[in-house]
Structure 1
């Protein structure tokens, strides 16, 4: 496939070095297959049924990257819910969740995670990764597009992800219903889908400025409402499968300007992938690396104080029991809403 003028111009926006531009263009115009990847939701069986690639240093312990040619989706263990199949780029994007547990900072690090909210959850890979990494008391997997709910619910049930609830709500509705409630919020934002090209897929107009701008505006709305759900000391993980700075670094820059209580968190394990397009820590996987089609990921922590009934509470003098009870009550009331779907088999 010949590179379009838009793609050539786009590559020049990412790098000034001509060789890097050409490597990127080649990865998109000459798509390749990437090693399949599985996320284990049950203990690995013996004997092990797949040939695997050596694990990378940052790779989660519950993830295996398989040898090219393996077809895990056709294995009986897949139907039995032992694992979830996903692109290794998705593993990369979700990897900052591991830093939440291993970091020496405050917040929810050493405490049980009561609630994880995945704002744009279908088909479920990031939700399942968060469940495996953080073992929350509750997982709320939200998907605003109704026709995508079926795949999400099917995957969560097949992999027996419990306790989990699936919702079909606009992020603004969630922000109103459960403000300051979730220790971790995931935003795998809808995007132009530029990385589909690296896998041989189609993403019409993905490099056109109008499409990029439209998606960036939508992403800003989603991340702004998602921020309202994050509890004090909690975390927000922003991810896309796009390459454009407007959908990635620039959305995050806008977010940090509008929501100054959030601070970017460095993920030491991904330091080799730090974006050269931002002054703050955020991370990119590009397709020319040969690991996956590509992804962007940035982790933020809410450093704001607490509020109860709209009144600011000093962090040092805060009544932690009252704060916990208020958050628990908001969650309890939300879970009683109609049209929420539980993954429980009972």
Structure 2
């Protein structure tokens, strides 16, 4: 086994008290093994699929397949035709909290949308009247637009502005806001990618402060009795449980929702119902996820979908699909 960095060792000790779990976590990052490729069927799944699939785990949606290692779905013609979206199963885990939502979602806002997988998952589950996908990083917009267009996700708008703009512009309008937050992306190490500085406290604190700013702005969009989903692909408690604790203290009108099918993944670092997948579990590179509900009473901002679409065009229009 390659020698782990001191920072990685420190993080492993913060995450796990048991030394065996620490070693398995470090091993998964230092000597990563391949995970099963995964597809999300955005169009109707063929009766006979062209891929060899693993046996589904109990909570896995029927529109998601984990494939045998070695399958290359991105090279299949059905991919270019928009039948499916390729993603890591950790993303399915994170987005699966949305399966808990049992009410209509007229307006769905994806705050940090690129490359689009969480928004496509949400659209497939909830079929909103309008999906607004925001991406503040210009170079990621092309990928987002391409994926939404290829998978025929509509009606949807792609916008390109800071979260603070929408906090004012679309206050209390959204039934669901997804914040797949920018993070230190430590889980990329489990995929064999290099992420320099991802365990350094300066990077972690900078990321956590940005996440708090984005999630604070995002709370302003949520309509009464609406939902806020928060997700990351990193391991640091500062970017995960501590952000949740900060949110609940700062915004008491929100409460975390228990997700019954993820109870076995409950984070042991907090009593808040939030959930973690680790790479040593063998399903995916890792993720953190939590679903909040706005329990405050009151009227939502009942702008029509047409009005909201027009406002998006005026303020930060990029593409309507």
Q: Do the two structures share a fold, i.e. TM-score over 0.5? A: yes
Evaluate the alpha carbon distance shift between residue 94 and residue 228 of structure 1 in structure 2; reply closer, same or farther with a 3 A threshold: same
Structure 1 segments, 4+ long, off by >4 Å, are 326-330
For residues 307 and 164 of structure 2, the distance between their equivalents in structure 1, rounded to whole angstroms, comes to: 16
Structure 1 residue 240: deviation in Å? 0.2
Match of 1:113 among 105, 115, 134: 105
2:119 counterpart of 1:131: no
Evaluate the alpha carbon distance shift between residue 304 and residue 30 of structure 1 in structure 2; reply closer, same or farther with a 3 A threshold: same
For residues 28 and 125 of structure 1, the distance between their equivalents in structure 2, rounded to whole angstroms, comes to: 24
Partner of 1:171: 163
For residues 309 and 146 of structure 2, the distance between their equivalents in structure 1, rounded to whole angstroms, comes to: 24
Evaluate the alpha carbon distance shift between residue 279 and residue 327 of structure 1 in structure 2; reply closer, same or farther with a 3 A threshold: farther
SS where residue 179 of structure 1 aligns?
A: coil
SS where residue 184 of structure 1 aligns?
A: strand
Structure 1 residue 282: deviation in Å? 0.1
Partner of 1:185: 177
CA contact (8 A) 2:178 2:228 kept: yes
Alignment of 1:45-194 (within 5 A): 45-101=46-102, 109=103, 112-194=104-186
CA contact (8 A) 1:216 1:251 kept: yes
Partner of 1:312: none
Evaluate the alpha carbon distance shift between residue 223 and residue 261 of structure 1 in structure 2; reply closer, same or farther with a 3 A threshold: same
Q: Which structure has the greater CA radius of gyration?
A: 1
Structure 1 residue 330: deviation in Å? 6.1
Partner of 1:340: 317
Alignment size in residue pairs:
320
For residues 19 and 247 of structure 1, the distance between their equivalents in structure 2, rounded to whole angstroms, comes to: 24
SS where residue 32 of structure 2 aligns?
A: coil
Structure 1 residue 15: deviation in Å? 1.1
2:231 counterpart of 1:239: yes
SS where residue 3 of structure 1 aligns?
A: coil
For residues 199 and 77 of structure 1, the distance between their equivalents in structure 2, rounded to whole angstroms, comes to: 25
SS where residue 292 of structure 1 aligns?
A: coil
Q: RMSD between aligned alpha carbons?
A: 1.4
Evaluate the alpha carbon distance shift between residue 16 and residue 50 of structure 1 in structure 2; reply closer, same or farther with a 3 A threshold: same
For residues 82 and 40 of structure 2, the distance between their equivalents in structure 1, rounded to whole angstroms, comes to: 10
For residues 123 and 275 of structure 1, the distance between their equivalents in structure 2, rounded to whole angstroms, comes to: 27
2:201 counterpart of 1:224: no
- Most deviating of 47-56 and 288-297: 47-56
For residues 190 and 315 of structure 2, the distance between their equivalents in structure 1, rounded to whole angstroms, comes to: 41
